[in-house]
A and B are shown apart, each in its own frame.
Chain A
């Protein structure tokens, strides 16, 4: 009982501190903007730990964060092998291929306004579909190893990137394009010096959506058959064996990988589109 009371008190104190922080001058500088959500996150972890211990929740239902941490520290080789199989081989390969294909196809169809008008509604619709269902078919085509996972990822990320990039290529204004024409710029010069830079905010929008989709695709495809390594494989087998600490360890790795992937793309975006109003602070 003391655990429960303790964490509740901690919660109240942390919340009060957060209210103070958010109201103070500190919240306008970078440190404050990181401290407030960090404190919130830590509070959630402490609440979880305290409630699991205080209420005596069985580890089969919900292991405490410290238990999960111990498990992570104790099984780094397995986690690393699964990570390489799913994220590097499956998700990243597919991500690069799918985004590259989406980028190139968008430039190709952009040359024909007719195709653009036809493809945009279809692309938008397909991007909203549960494409994830293609996974069993890809596993049938490309076998159990990472190639089938990469194929699922290619299809999943292709349409969001395509749709955003096509919209991006139309983002430069009529006036700017006319100006390029008066300077006698060729199609390629206009493309590289005006339209591609103008399309970058849209492209990165698509690329950021695609990061999450890539991980989802790679993990789901493993539910339909995989070699005996990989995050999706590990999760589905360890759930069957009721070793929840391993499952949570995988979830933690997946969460870190997903956030790092997204953060990495967002960082590149900031470098590339530094001129865009949304990036100026």
Chain B
């Protein structure tokens, strides 16, 4: 409880600030309406009216929750309006990209740790690749895949999300594979282990904590990648597409609901990775 209290109170403060800001930002519209109708609004009338607009400048939290609930529970999950449906589309791309990113990152890390040439020639470019704003490349990847005859919208999104997620895995794995110290390396050498055995029995297990720590960053990054990948496609499905639709049709509530759905999805994904990590640790016999 001692840990939850500060977090809850900060959340409470944020809530209060949010509501105050909603009143302040939405008030001009109410005054405007009242002036046109030739009436005057008192403060007591003003506040409820700022909380219940169809197109608020800043949506109040309860409006967002209501819109979220409408999107999640209010429709059949196969409906085009269902946030579950759109969330699932985004989740699929995220997962493909995440798996691709893990494979790519881990393979590169192993190559870099095993070979000095790879280390010297690839590592600087891997770092540079992350300073390139991926969103500039995103529309390009979308066009490229469609020109190559791949109609599936999933492919470009997965590539973009793999591009964002491979780097944390790469860095974490390199650190982890190099983490056994000289004493442990000497020890395993006295047991006459071959190079492959050193790798499988010492380096790989030693890298696991680093691997899982980087997975949590990578899964969040792949979700960002999948959402960014939905923006320039003029996508029709997915949470990114909902944000775009909300913006184009002047429906801020749709954008807010999609934004919060994405946040919830990110939280769930990080929790899921944490669960997998705990299970793996238990299997490996780590004492909690």
Of residues 16 through 54 on chain A, the ones whose CB sits less than 8 Å from some CB of chain B are 18-19, 21-23, 27, 33, 36-37, 39-41
* B240 partner residues in chain A, CB cutoff 8 A: 133
A40-B122, A40-B125, A118-B7 as given contacts; A224 in contact with B135, CB under 8 Å? no
- A146 within 8 A of partner (CB): no
Please name the residue on chain A nearest to B256 by beta carbon.
A137
Do A239 and B136 touch across chains, with their CB atoms under 8 A apart?
no
A243 to B250, CA, bound (A): 31
- Inter-chain CA distance A97–B117, complex, in Å, is 41
Using CB atoms, name the residue of chain A closest to B231.
Answer: A223
Q: B140, A244: Cβ atoms under 8 Å?
A: yes
Report which residue of B125, B132, B137 has the largest number of chain A beta carbons within 10 angstroms of its beta carbon. Answer: B132
* Residue pair B130, A212 in contact (C-beta under 8 Å): yes
Shortest C-beta distance, B57 to chain A (Å), equals 7
Q: Which residues of B contact A23 (CB under 8 A)?
A: 116-117
Are A130 and B7 within 8 A (Cβ)?
no
Q: When each residue 233-267 of chain B gets 1 if its CB lies under 8 Å from chain A and 0 otherwise, what string results?
A: 00000011001101100101001101100110011
Residues on the B chain within 8 Å of A140, using CB: 57, 247, 250, 252
Interface string of B118-157 (1 = CB under 8 A from A): 0111111100101111111101101110011000000000
Question: How far apart are the CA atoms of A259 and B134 in the complex, in Å?
Answer: 12
Neighbour of B131 across the interface among A137, A225, A259, CB < 8 A? A259
Known contacts A36-B120, A236-B232, A239-B143; is-contact A129 B134 (Cβ 8 Å): no
CB contact between B139 and one of A121, A216, A239, A258 (< 8 Å): that residue:
A239
* Prevailing SS type, chain B contact patch: helix
- Bound form: Cα–Cα A116–B142 in Å: 42
In Å, the complex CA distance between A251 and B6 comes to 44
- A60–B147 touching, CB < 8 Å: yes
Chain A residue nearest to B220 in the complex (CB): A128
A40, B121: Cβ atoms closer than 8 Å? yes
Please state if B267 and A125 are interface contacts (CB–CB under 8 Å).
yes
Number of interface residues of A (CB under 8 A): 63
**Complex interface: chain A residues within 8 A of B3 (CB):** 117
The docked-state distance in angstroms from the alpha carbon of A135 to that of B58 is: 14
Are B147 and A61 in contact, CB atoms less than 8 angstroms apart?
Answer: yes
Q: Type the 1/0 row for B208-250, where 1 means its CB is closer than 8 Å to any CB of A.
A: 0000000011001001100110011000000110011011001
Min CB gap A201→B, angstroms: 17
Asked if A255 is at the interface of the complex by the 8 Å CB criterion, the answer is: yes
Q: A62-B144, A244-B143 are in contact. Are A39 and B121 (CB under 8 A)?
A: yes
A122 CB within 8 Å of chain B: yes
Q: Which residues of A contact B46 (CB under 8 A)?
A: none
A191 at the interface (CB under 8 A from B): no
Bound-complex Cα distance A231 to B227 (A): 20
User: CB of A248 within 8 A of chain B?
Assistant: yes
Interface residues on B, range: 35 or more
Are B220 and A129 in contact, with the CB atoms below 8 A?
Answer: yes
Q: Is A250 an interface residue (CB 8 A)?
A: yes
**Which residues between 216 and 240 of chain A lie within 8 Å of chain B, taking CB atoms?**
216, 219-220, 223-225, 231-232, 235-236, 239
Residue of A nearest to B116 (CB): A22
- Given the interface pairs A115-B6, A132-B224, A235-B139, the reply to whether A37 lies near B133 with Cβ below 8 Å is no
Q: Are B244 and A224 in contact (CB under 8 A)?
A: yes
Question: Which B residues lie within 8 Å of A19 (CB)?
Answer: 117
B43 at the interface (CB under 8 A from A): no
Return the chain B residue nearest A134 by Cβ. B259
A219 surroundings in chain B (CB, below 8 A): 133, 135-136
Chain A contacts for B244, CB-based, 8 A: 136, 224
A residues in contact with B134, CB < 8 Å: 216
A114 contacts the other chain (CB 8 A): yes
Residues in chain B near residue A60, CB distance under 8 A: 147
* B287 contacts the other chain (CB 8 A): no
Of the candidates B10, B133, B140, B223, which one forms a contact with A212 in the assembled complex, judged by CB atoms under 8 Å apart?
A: B133
Also in contact, A128 and B270, with CB within 8 A (given A133-B227, A216-B134): yes
A22 & B120 in contact (Cβ 8 Å cutoff): yes
**Please, could you name 9 A-B residue pairs with CB atoms under 8 Å apart, sorted by A?**
A115-B10, A119-B6, A130-B262, A133-B255, A137-B247, A239-B232, A244-B143, A250-B136, A259-B131
Chain B interface residues toward A at CB < 8 A: 3, 5-11, 14, 57, 116-117, 119-125, 128, 130-137, 139-140, 142-144, 147-148, 216-217, 220, 223-224, 227-228, 231-232, 239-240, 243-244, 246-247, 250, 252, 255-256, 258-259, 262-263, 266-267, 270
